[in-house]
Amino acid sequence: MDRADIKKALKDPHKWGEKYSLWATYFCTGCGIMEIPPVLTARWDAERFGVKPMATPRQSNLFLITGYVSIKTLRAIILSYEQMPDPKYTVAFGSCPIDGGLYHTSYNTVNHLDRYLPIDGWIAGCMPRPEAIFIAVTKLWKMIDGEMVDGYKRYRENIDYYRRNQERVLGKEFIDSIPASTMVKP
């Protein structure tokens, strides 16, 4: 951790800020509500790393999607993601966002989340331990250093692909209902 390295911070203040001030919106769609709160409170204390829960997507730049994604919650996930200011990082937590996990045969589960949103990191497991969040955060720091996290740029570049997939699952009405202020322009 080079958080106290003043020379490096002055050289690239933007990167310094992005790395050590990850404010999280956590989207507990079902599972994960057991794992995330201990991470943020006294047991594991994510505030050591500058990770802080934020009440609204407008203020946060780390999006934690935990547990399985149903079609109904995908709607809210997309709307929340588009409200977050750039640069933003998404981390999918658990097996279900990767391939549907336990629920992969269900008619109502979205099996591959990365077809609808760009995901920067995956934490596999059902469920992963809370420590996995810290491993993810430190990994994210390395990726920000090497400029390897480009999810929000990919989303902008391939917006047609993502919109097509979103429309197939959620219907044309959903795409039309996205407010113009949050709409991502290619």
Partner 1 sequence: MTIWMRIVWIAVLPIVALLISVFFMGLSRKVIARVQRRYGPPIYQPVIDLVKLFTQHSNISHGMIFDMGLIIALAGSLVTLLFIPVGGIHPLSSSGDLLVLIYLMLISPIGVALSAGASGNPNASIGISRKLTLALGYEVPFLLVLLTVMTQGGTTSLVSFVQGQSTSILSWGLFRFPLSAIAMFLILPVMLGIRPFDIAGAPQEIASGPQVEFGGKYLALASIEHGLHLFIVIALFVDLFLGGAANLGTFFLKMLLVFLIGVFIGAVYPRFRIDQALKYCWKWPTLFALLGLILVMIIGS
Binding residues for partner 1, rule: CB under 8 A, are 3-4, 13-14, 16-18, 20-21, 23, 41-42, 45, 47-48, 50, 53-56, 58-59, 61, 83-87, 181-182
| Strand-pair partners of 93 | 66, 123
Between CA 25 and CA 3 the distance in angstroms is 22
- Pick between residue 71 and residue 183 the one whose CB is nearest to partner 1: 183
- Pick between residue 57 and residue 128 the one whose CB is nearest to partner 1: 57
Angle between helices 131-145 and 13-20 (to 10 degrees): 170
- Pick between residue 59 and residue 138 the one whose CB is nearest to partner 1: 59
Minimal distance in Å, beta carbon 42 to partner 1? Answer: 5
Helix (H, G, I), strand (E, B) or coil at 109: strand
- Pick between residue 42 and residue 173 the one whose CB is nearest to partner 1: 42
Candidates 186, 185, 182; CA nearest to 157 is: 186
Tokens 């407010």 belong to which residue? 179
Minimal distance in Å, beta carbon 41 to partner 1? Answer: 8
